[in-house]
Amino acid sequence: MNPIKPADGDALLIVDVQNDFLPGGALAVPEGDAVIEPLNRVLDIFHTRGLPIFASRDWHPPNHCSFRERGGPWPPHCIADTEGAQFPTALKLPAFTAIISKATTPEKDAYSAFEDTPLTMQLRMYGVKRVLVGGLATDYCVLNTVKDAVKNGFAVVLLTDAIRAVNVHPGDGKKALAEMRALGVTEAESHDIQ
Ligand code: VGL
Ligand code: ZN
């Protein structure tokens, strides 16, 4: 693979790497914890170069419409200010990481980190042209975040070893990957980021 050398105009965007999406969590993504090591590798590069780092988080109220007791598809997860909503301590986020909270109101869900958040504005303020994306889950929040990134005019590098799928329906992760490929997204592994 071609090496990618992050520089001015690049940002790292980590999607929803939160305790509830890791093994043992309320909405565990199979092998969700496997994204941490590759993300830490890329985090270190961005941190060292002083490049912008964004981390989105699912940040639901306790009565969120996506929860089963309200007829939604998911068990309660990532309730604001709970342990399950925290970033895992193993993920080495620098202090200046810009945190993007999403799906924060009871009546609306949002899979994309761009939906009802200031992310586009903040990326533009930093002069970002390209985002490197990793996180959870490939078939939900990563997919929808990548689609919106492309829609909003950003080039996307998908960190393929730093994503994992829920796969509620077998093959969802592969389908999501194909959908992102069709948008012209570049794929790279964390080791290709230099
Ligand atoms: C997500 C399901 C429900 C995600 C969030 O971050 O991919 N998936 N809420
Ligand atoms: Zn959610």
pTM of the model: 0.98
pLDDT value of residue 24 = 98
User: What CATH number is given to the structural domain containing 135?
Assistant: 3.40.50.850
Q: What is the DSSP string of 35-87?
A: GHHHHHHHHHHHHHHT--EEEEEE-B-TT-TTBGGGT-SB-S--BTTSGGGSP
Does residue 16 belong to any structural domain of this protein? Answer: yes
Does residue 116 belong to any structural domain of this protein? Answer: yes
Mean pLDDT of the chain: 98
Does residue 83 belong to any structural domain of this protein? Answer: no
Does residue 162 belong to any structural domain of this protein? Answer: yes
Overall number of domains in the chain: 1
Model pLDDT for residues 54-108, shown as the tens digit of each residue: 999 999 999 999 999 999 999 999 999 999 999 999 999 999 999 999 999 999 9
53-58 and 98-102 strand pairing: parallel
Tell how far CA 26 is from the center of its chain: 18
Task: List residues with catalytic annotation.
Answer: 16, 102, 141
ipTM rounded to 2 decimals: 0.98
Q: What is the DSSP string of 169-191?
A: STTHHHHHHHHHHHTT-EEE-GG
Which numbered ligand comes closest to the C-alpha of 145? 1
Q: Which atom of ligand 1 is nearest to the CA of 66?
A: 3
Supply the range of the domain harboring residue 32: 10-53+88-97+110-189
Does residue 24 belong to any structural domain of this protein? Answer: yes
Does residue 183 belong to any structural domain of this protein? Answer: yes
The helix/strand/coil state of 34 is: helix
Q: Which of 143, 135, 127, 132 is nearest to 181 (CA)?
A: 143
CB 58 within 8 A of CB 78: yes
Does residue 1 belong to any structural domain of this protein? Answer: no
